[in-house]
Amino acid sequence: MPGPLRPHIACPTTSGTGSEVTGIAIFDWLERHAKTGIASKRLRPTLALVDPDCTLTLPASVVACSGFDVLSHALESYTALPYTHRPKPESPAARPMSQGANPFSDMACTEALRILGANIVRAVTDPDDTAARERMMYAATLAGIGFGNAGVHVPHAMAYAVAGLVKTYRAPEYPGDGALVPHGMAVIVNAPAVVRFTAPANPGRHLEAAALLGADVRDAAPSEAGEALAERIETLMQATRMPNGIGGVGFERHDVPALRDGALPQKRLLAIAPRTVGAQELEALFERALRYW
């Protein structure tokens, strides 16, 4: 960023991005068929006015997509590489914004997961459930605080390729023309494949996330953490009519190399993945994300 922004009062109109409390801005680079982001502390708004009444007239599809962005923010930040495992910067001032999982972000992320697990289906399926929509807005801001400090990883990196390379799919209930995979949808269609991959890095956190989202994991072994979490995410996706993987938004197996190449440049995100992710891993993850049920 070339300099400080003018005073900025942020008023979110959906319960998803958490951008009212982060220093990250996302945009489509149409010429390159890419979606990516700019990160700078200067992008943080001066003040946030978070009013859940702004979401009461949103259609169900928008509530669902926004909600799954919340889920992904909180889950990826909570399962990210711990900040203590990253290379030490030369000075505290050089510490990156996306610094990995840390005690401060953990508090926000676990509470956001708990709230979302109890409210997303209600908020999507019953437009008159104002209490559920209020809780979703609170979860969005909490998750924004969490990932604004910890950062997100593989599902978001993959999502930028999914959104940028969309062919003909357009999400229902979104205004306008042209192909569109909304951001929260672009993220969540990758998430089950990713958590099955990342769970061995920290089974305990993956099991805890599954429990916070409403899964019964009392008898689950550490080796079952990825499957338990993935199945819970898939259940929430089905209950809110999300597409069945990236195949559900129009991608086929022959698109996987292009998707891989679209996600690979997202170094800021991949750097805090709990397991090493390169071209080979991304290709395998996109293949596993083609279909879930």
Residue ranges for the chain with pLDDT beneath 70: none
Q: Is residue 3 part of a domain?
A: no
How many whole angstroms separate alpha carbon 115 and alpha carbon 68? 12
Where residue 109 sits, what CATH number does that domain have? 1.20.1090.10
CB atoms within 10 A of CB 88: 8
pLDDT the model gives residue 27: 84
Q: Is residue 245 part of a domain?
A: yes
Q: Is residue 1 part of a domain?
A: no
Of residues 59, 34, 70, 54, the one with CA closest to residue 184:
70
Q: Is residue 73 part of a domain?
A: yes
Q: How many structural domains is the chain composed of? A: 1
Question: What phi, psi does 35 have (nearest 5°)?
Answer: -120, 135
Q: Is residue 177 part of a domain?
A: yes
Query: Angle at CA 174, nearest 5°, toward 40 and 28?
Result: 35
How many whole angstroms separate alpha carbon 157 and alpha carbon 76? 11
How many whole angstroms separate alpha carbon 37 and alpha carbon 202? 27
pLDDT the model gives residue 192: 98
CB atoms within 10 A of CB 2: 5
Q: Is residue 262 part of a domain?
A: yes
pLDDT the model gives residue 1: 83
Q: Is residue 4 part of a domain?
A: no
pLDDT the model gives residue 95: 81
Boundaries of domain holding 177: 9-288
* Amino acid at site 71: L
pLDDT the model gives residue 63: 97
Q: Which parts of the chain fold into alpha helices (H)? A: 60-79, 103-125, 130-150, 154-164, 183-188, 191-198, 203-212, 225-239, 256-263, 267-270, 279-288
pLDDT the model gives residue 238: 98
pLDDT the model gives residue 147: 95
User: pTM, whole model, 2 decimals?
Assistant: 0.94
- Within the chain, what is the greatest distance between any pair of CA atoms? 53
Name 206's Cβ contacts closer than 8 Å, sequence gap at least 6. Answer: 79, 195, 198, 199, 225, 226, 228, 229
Q: Is residue 293 part of a domain?
A: no
Over residues 59-105, the pLDDT tens digits come to: 999 999 999 999 999 999 999 999 999 888 888 888 888 899 999 99
